[in-house]
Structure 1
Amino acid sequence: MRGFIILITLFISSCSLTETTEKTSPYLLNPDEVQDLLSTSKGVKIIELSNYEQYIKGHLNNAYLLERKDYADTTHVLDGMMASKSHIESLLQRMAVQANDTLILYGEQTNVDACRFFWILKCYGHPSVFIMDGGKKAWSEYYPLDTMIKDMPIPGKYKFPTGDNPMSQLAEIEDVLRAVQDEDIQIIDTRSSEEYSGEPFVNKGKVVHWKSGAVINGTIPTAKHIHWTRLQSYEEPFGFKSKKDIIHELEKDGIDPYGEMILFCQSGARSSHTFFALKYILGNNKVKNYDGSWIEWSARYATNPKMIRQISAPAENDRILSKLKQEMVNNNG
């Protein structure tokens, strides 16, 4: 009930803005709205999704920290799979989250990790979750950051609500297999153009054919492509684009914004950002995020050429590889 009241409050607040201001999504908050909630509402907890080094440089006052490893299934054979429901419950218990608490998530300015955890919370059914648009960068333009590490409270007894079917926004590998055979379901690759085409690229200072965790380059058959950054502003603090602009970017690449689709990237993080844009800004309820993404697909089908689509020809890859290596030599010289 508390989360519902906060949603109504935010809606009224957005209506008081000038007529030229567009409220992109009720699930996106600007820094002023976050400050208002923290100052006036009970049961609001704020979580930074980044890493310890970024967190201690400065964070919102009273923000908890979660790193990727905290909400990933570290026992799974594949990297980056989302943790179990009971494990996420234990994370929320450690922060003394109550079932009707409102959670505000933010990360570094692109908010990829915040969107990933948002998606996980919605998969398991927490009702009241928001993203601070523009992340910590947006906040720091108007309000100070804190460097004190928040003490952990007495753990709570949090449990996700039951009765709904929020896992309907999760795509398993079987769903993707069916989509490959169904022209009415769009498969969307949200990685870089090089990852999508199978070209070599530079990652963390090295020339690679694919990112760590995968076992082959390429993409899923029938997949369309849009780089996840296309749906965010090109200007700092890099918040989400408007609904109109998101639709324009999707249609420009032949993607039906309101059609049925499955999103993927390397491990389901970048595609969570695109998922948020499609479901929580555009309102498309026919979109799913493939948690296993390219790490799982490439591991399963590396030896099956019918299930791996490589757009870039081997000869072209050799030319690109030589060029990238020469550029690195020149840059290091």
Structure 2
Amino acid sequence: MRLTLAAVGSLFLVGAGQANSDFLVSTDWLEQNLNNEDLRVLEVSVVPGKFERGHIPGAVNLHWHTELVDPVKRDIASRDNFQALLRKAGISEGTTLVLYGDSNNWFAAWGAWIFDVYRVPSVKLLDGGRDKWEAEGRPLDVRPSQYPPGNITLAERNDALRARLGDVLAVAEGRTDTALIDIRSADEYNGKIFAPAGVQELAVRAGHIPGAVNVPWSSAVAADGTFKPVEELRALYQGVGVDGSKPIIVYCRIGERSSHTWFVLSKLLGYEVRNYDGSWTEYGNSVGVPIANPAGTVWGGT
């Protein structure tokens, strides 16, 4: 007989002193609850094919580059397409969702942001993601997971969670009192490099949006990929003047790493945060916008 979450209790445990457990589950808790019928585990990884080579038993794969986005225009998946995807995964009203992925949950956090945009409740991240699960020698399965169709009905988008080009331009030009956090590496922020090596999405300008402070996304995680304790996280952002007293916009290159920081600031610290998913590939390719480029790197030169 399969147990329900109600039967075993709904406490989602994380490490002692760790960030808000309402939005995180531990690897121990997840392994103990894989057979709960009102739980659905979803993998959103960066590397295509990783799921097929082995995944958490019962997990459903969500392809970030085809299923969570509009296939033609640059946008997140439409309400109808996203709803159909979730129903196919067996997700119904009241299903608790646990997302995980590789690269310290980069795209799993991005998936969580999209779920939040569509106002889906009970969405959590596996603290430490796929890497921690594997490092601890927990079970993996290569069999595809199939479920009866779900009945979830999505709400309309919550645009308050999303920043646009005009919103960050207002910050750059000093027309709005909003904190802006660039979560890319210091070399990207300072304009030394245009993007990490090997990526396809590029901007023709280097640097950052004026007024942005730099807190690389990786500053928020411990060596094993789990989130640092909440007091450490709060101190980390207070160190650059971000304390939640005013709205925050986060950005990166295409919006996935900034979703990780969005999750930290919004879900774990409770701040008012928007994710600018256009990020540097939109801003750095826009004509006439102000740019801070301390390194002075120029497209086509050194």
Q: Give secondary structure in 1 for the equivalent of 2:11.
A: helix
Normalising by the residue count of structure 2, what TM-score does the alignment of the two structures yield? 0.86
Count residues in correspondence: 294
Give the 3-state SS of the residue equivalent to 1:67 in structure 2: coil
* Corresponding residue number in structure 1 for 2:274: 288
Answer yes or no: is the 8 Å Cα contact 1:250–1:257 preserved in 2.
Answer: no
Residue 232 (1) aligns with residue 221 (2): yes
Residue 147 to residue 36, structure 1, CA distance change in 2 (3 Å) = closer
1:103 to 64, 79, 97: 97
Is residue 160 of structure 1 aligned with residue 154 of structure 2? yes
Moved more, 47-56 or 118-127: 47-56
More helix by share: 1
Would the aligned equivalents of 2:178 and 2:249 in 1 still touch at CA under 8 Å? yes
Q: 3-state DSSP class of the match of 1:288?
A: strand
Matched, 1:73 2:70: yes
Q: Quote the residue 2:114 is aligned against.
A: 120
Within-5 A mapping of 1:17-32: 21-25=16-20, 26-32=22-28
Residue 99 of structure 1 contacts residue 126 of structure 1 at CA under 8 Å; is this kept in 2? no
Gapped regions of structure 2 (runs ≥ 5): none
User: Any conservation in 2 of the 1:109–1:134 contact (CA below 8 Å)?
Assistant: no
The residue that corresponds to 2:241 in the other structure is 254
Deviation at 1:221, TM superposition (A): 1.8
CA–CA distance in 2 between the matches of 1:178 and 1:4?
45
- Which secondary structure does the structure 2 equivalent of 1:38 belong to? coil
Once the two structures are superposed, the pairs formed by residues 23-62 of structure 1 within 5 Å of their partners are 23-25=18-20, 26-39=22-35, 41-50=36-45, 51-62=47-58
Name stretches of at least 5 consecutive residues in structure 1 with no aligned partner.
322-333
* Most deviating of 251-260 and 214-223: 251-260
Judge conservation of contact 2:210–2:291 (CA < 8 Å) in 1.
yes
Alpha-carbon distance, 1:215 to partner: 2.7
The residue number in structure 1 matching 2:180 is: 187
Residue 330 of structure 1: aligned partner = none
Distance in 1 (alpha carbons) for counterparts of 2:170 and 2:5: 37
The TM-score with structure 1 as length reference comes to 0.79
User: How far off its partner does 1:151 sit?
Assistant: 4.1
- SS of 1:45's partner is strand
Shift of 1:7: 12
Q: Pick one of 164, 179, 182 that aligns with 1:172.
A: 164
Give the superposition deviation at 1:241: 0.9
Identity rate, percent: 28
Tell me the residue number matched to 1:221. Answer: 210
Shift of 1:218: 1.8
Whichever of the two has the greater Rg, that structure is 1
Tell me the CA shift for residue 148 of structure 1: 2.1
Q: Which residue of 2 aligns with 1:310?
A: 293
Please tell me the residue identity of whatever aligns with 2:191: G
The Cα of 1:8 is off from its aligned counterpart by: 7.1
Q: Give the SS at the match of 2:52.
A: helix
CA contact (8 A) 1:231 1:241 kept: yes
**Residue of structure 1 aligned with 2:230, choices 224, 228, 243:** 243
Residue 9 (structure 1) aligned with residue 1 (structure 2): no
